[in-house]
Structures are given as structure tokens and as C-alpha cells.
Amino acid sequence: MTPATLVLLVLPPFLWAGNSVVGRLMVGQLAPLELSFWRWCIALLAALPFTAGALWRARTQLWQHRAALLRMGFLGIACYNSLQYVALHTTTPLNVALISSAGPVFIVLIGALVYREPAGAEAIVGAGLSALGVIVVVTQGQLLHLAQLRLAVGDFVMLLAVVLWGFYTWELRRHPLGVAPLVGLTAQIAIGTVMIAPFTLWARFALGEVSHWAPSGIAAVLYVSLGASLLAYVCWGEAVARTGAQVPVYFANLLPVFVALLSFVLLHERIHVFHLVGAALIFGGIHVSLRGRSRLGRRG
């Protein structure tokens, strides 16, 4: 765990925390699928000047990985964020955060059941501690709030998003493309954007979902395109390549902690004791999972 690897693990949840804040702020202003489409469309246009030549040179290699690329583009680009934006329109941020906290559990289960990746006791304990930390944060330390939750359509939408993200993470690990991270990401974005387009048109003309564009909306799209998309995904892909598919998910559970920090800085909301307790549990889960991987490495 070098300092560079630590930065790669921490930066994506920080940028995605900003994405969560922006997604909530844009409810009622930007239609969810349109926000997702323009997010990836602009990210693609921003990446192509740097990757077009490498994409052309690697076209034969990428074609050989076309099945994996289609899965990655569908799972990580077209599905996850589109479903998250849709979920935020039909359920509460508390429910979304709670369902997202199940991510490590799904990663472990998907790895064991689908990819035949053994799950050690440390991975299970680390997932449990991290999930408990997230629950403490989103319930503000009052766990009795859990009994008051009611699952809405958006809850099931977010649950589906978390499961698909688990598959995407394993696909990154098990099917390396053999190209630079940004080049592989650009290929995924191109595929995912094409997949999102027809659903965006359907939502616009069949469901009547209309966006109301303003300077704040344009700024929001630019942020989620360049920061929460390009930079965050490059870091995430490189972190998965360095550490495996399980460890980055524990760091992804830092998301609610960063949301609290951004709310304190940007919205002048107070940081409470339950934020600190939740952060301690999340970091405890990360420590347990990393210690378990270190032991496995020594035994190998």
C-alpha cells in the first residue's frame, strides 16, 4: 500500500461524493438519463484528443476483447450512474446510501459465486465493519431509524445498480484490456454512451422528462463529466489493477464521510460525533481487509 496507491483509492470516492451532491441538487432541473448521457458524452469528447491515436493503434487488440468491453460499457458506464440518478428521483438519499453500503457484501458474493474467488474471514469482517460505519453515518448514529425505512421503487433501482457495479469491478480485474487506463476507459465510455442514448430519447419523448438548462446545470455536467467520470474512473481502474477487486470497494464506503465534509465546507453543515464514529468503523474495515490480504500474500 504505497502513497500513490492510497491516493488512487481515496480520490474516486471523494469525486463521487461531489457527484452525489450534484445529483441531488439537479433533481427537478435535469432529467436523470439526460444528465447521465451528457455526462459521458462530454467525457468522451474530452478524452478523445488524448486517446484517439492509441485507440486506433489498439483497434485489433480491443476487438479481441469486444465481449468484455461490451460488458464493461454496459455495467459501469450505461447502468450504474444512470440508475443512481433515477433512484434519487424516487427514493431518499438515506435509502440510497444504505443500499450502497451493501456493495462490499455483493463484491464478496459475486466473486465467490460467479468468479470463483475465495472470500476469507477478514474480507467478510472488513465488509461488515465498513457497512456498519456507513449505516452509522447515514442514520446520524440513531440505528432505530432503520426500522422506519420503507422500500420504494428507487430502492430496488439502487440495489440493481450496486449489484451491476459489483460485476463491473470484477470484469475490470478479470479481463484486463492490455491498454493504458484512459484508453480502455475511452472505449468503455464510447460503448456506454451509445447504449444510454436510446433510453434518453425514450425518457424524453415517451415519458416527457424535460431538462431545464441553466448555468448551474452546465457547471454540474462539466464537473461530473471531467471529475467524477474521467479522473475518478481512471483512478478506480488503476486501483483495481493494483489491489484487486475487493479492497477498492471498502474505500468506496468513504463516500458518505466525504459527503459530510463537502456539506460542511459548501453548505456550512456541522460535523457531528456520529460522522467520526462512522469514519472510524469504515477505516477499521479497510484495515482488517488489508491485513487479511497481507497474510494471504505471505502464505502464497
Helix (H) or strand (E) run with residue 218 in it: helix 215-225
Quote the pLDDT of residue 90.
75
Task: Give Cβ neighbours of residue 8 (< 8 Å, ≥ 6 apart).
Answer: 235, 236, 238, 239, 242
Mean pLDDT of 262-269: 71
pLDDT tens digits, 203-233: 888 888 888 888 989 999 999 999 988 888 7
**Residue scoring higher pLDDT (146 or 8):** 8
Q: Which of 85, 98, 75, 97 is nearest to 24 (CA)?
A: 85
* 3-state secondary structure at position 232: helix
Structure confidence at residue 198 as a pLDDT band (50, 70, 90): very high
Give pLDDT, residue 299: 33
Per domain, the residue ranges of the chain are: 3-299
CB 130 within 8 A of CB 285: yes
Is 131's pLDDT higher than 90?
no
pLDDT at 293: 55
Between 25-29, 168-172, 266-270, 295-299, the lowest mean confidence (pLDDT) is in 295-299
Residue 81: closest CA among 272, 229, 221, 240: 229
pLDDT of residue 151: 58
Across 31-45, 81-95, 135-149, 219-233, least confident range = 135-149
Of 155-159, 182-186, 262-266, least confident by mean pLDDT is 262-266
Tell whether the model's pLDDT for residue 150 goes beyond 80: no
Cα angle value 124/1/71 (rounded, 5°):
60
The per-residue pLDDT for range 94-113, each reduced to its tens digit, is 667 767 766 777 777 788 77
Largest Cα–Cα separation, the chain? 58
Is residue 145 pLDDT above 70, yes or no?
no
Question: Regarding predicted confidence, which is higher, 6 or 282?
Answer: 6
Residue-level pLDDT at 132: 81
**Mean predicted lDDT score pLDDT of the chain:** 81
* Helical segments of 119-272, H only: 121-138, 153-174, 181-205, 215-225, 232-243, 247-252, 255-267
- Please tell me the predicted confidence (pLDDT) of residue 243: 83
Q: Is the pLDDT of residue 178 over 60?
A: yes
- Would you say residue 174 has pLDDT above 70? yes
pLDDT reading at 17 higher than 90: no
